[in-house]
Amino acid sequence: MSNSAEETQQTTAFVPGGRHQNRRMKRSGGAGVRRAVVLAMAVPVASAALAGPPAFAADRDATTTVGSRVTDGTDPDDQQMAANLEARVLDQRLGSDVSGVVLDADSDDTLWDHNGATALMPASNAKLATATAALTVLGPQHRFTTKVVYGDGTLTLVGGGDRTLTGDDLAELARTAAAGLTKAGLTTVKVAVDDSLFPAPSLADGWNDGYYPDTVAPVRALVVDGHGVQDTSIDAGQAFAGLLAEDGITVDGEVMRGTAGRTDVPVARHTSAPLSDIVKKMLKTSDNNIAETLLRMTALGAERPATFEGGTEVVRQVLGHRYGVSLDNFEIHDGSGLSRTDRIPAATLAQILELLTESRYANTLGSVLDGLPVAGEAGSTLGPEWGRFDDPNSQCAVGKVRAKTGTLTGAIALSGLTRTEDGEWRVFSFIENGSTAAPADIKDAMDGLAATVNGCWA
Q: Are 289 and 226 in contact (CB under 8 A)?
A: yes
Chain length of the chain:
458
39 and 128 in a single domain? The answer is yes
Is residue 435 a part of any domain in this protein? Answer: yes
Does residue 36 surpass a pLDDT of 70? no
Largest CA distance in the chain: 81
Half-sphere exposure of 230 (CA within 13 A, CB side): 2
Quick one: which of 333, 417, 319 has its CA closest to 19? 319
391 and 449 in a single domain? The answer is yes
Is residue 102 a part of any domain in this protein? Answer: yes
Dihedral angle computed from the Cα positions of residues 64, 326, 382 and 113, in that order, rounded to the nearest 10 degrees:
-10
Q: Are 246 and 131 in contact (CB under 8 A)?
A: no
Q: Specify the pLDDT at position 386.
A: 96
Give 92: exposed, middle or buried? Use CB within 10 Å, 0-12, 13-18, 19+: exposed
109 and 153 in a single domain? The answer is no
380 and 441 in a single domain? The answer is yes
What letter represents residue 456's amino acid?
C
| Rounded-to-integer distance, Cα 136 and Cα 321, Å | 12
DSSP assignments along 420-444, one per residue: -TT--EEEEEEEEES--S-HHHHHH
Q: Of 221, 246, 272, at which residue does a domain stop?
A: 272
The count of domains in the chain is: 2
What letter represents residue 111's amino acid?
L
How far lies 271's CA from each of 52, 94, 125, 239, 397, in Å? 33, 44, 28, 19, 39
Q: Are 252 and 186 in contact (CB under 8 A)?
A: no
Quick one: which of 409, 404, 394, 402 has its CA closest to 448? 394
Taking residue 243's Cβ as centre, other Cβ atoms within 10 Å add up to 20
| Rounded-to-integer distance, Cα 277 and Cα 246, Å | 32
315 and 441 in a single domain? The answer is yes
| Rounded-to-integer distance, Cα 408 and Cα 411, Å | 5
List of residues 6+ apart from 454 with CB closer than 8 A: 396, 397, 400, 401, 418, 419, 420, 426
Does residue 23 surpass a pLDDT of 90? no
CATH number at residue 241: 3.50.80.20
Q: Specify the pLDDT at position 210.
A: 86
Mean pLDDT, to the nearest integer, of 419-426?
Answer: 92
150 and 124 in a single domain? The answer is no
| Rounded-to-integer distance, Cα 303 and Cα 89, Å | 43
pTM of the model as a whole: 0.86
Domain with 252, as residue range(s), is 145-272
Mean pLDDT, to the nearest integer, of 90-97?
Answer: 97
Does residue 32 surpass a pLDDT of 90? no
38 and 117 in a single domain? The answer is yes
Q: Specify the pLDDT at position 70.
A: 56
If pLDDT is split at 50, 70 and 90, which confidence band does 1 have? Answer: very low
Report pLDDT digits (tens) over 346-369. Answer: 999 999 999 999 999 999 999 999
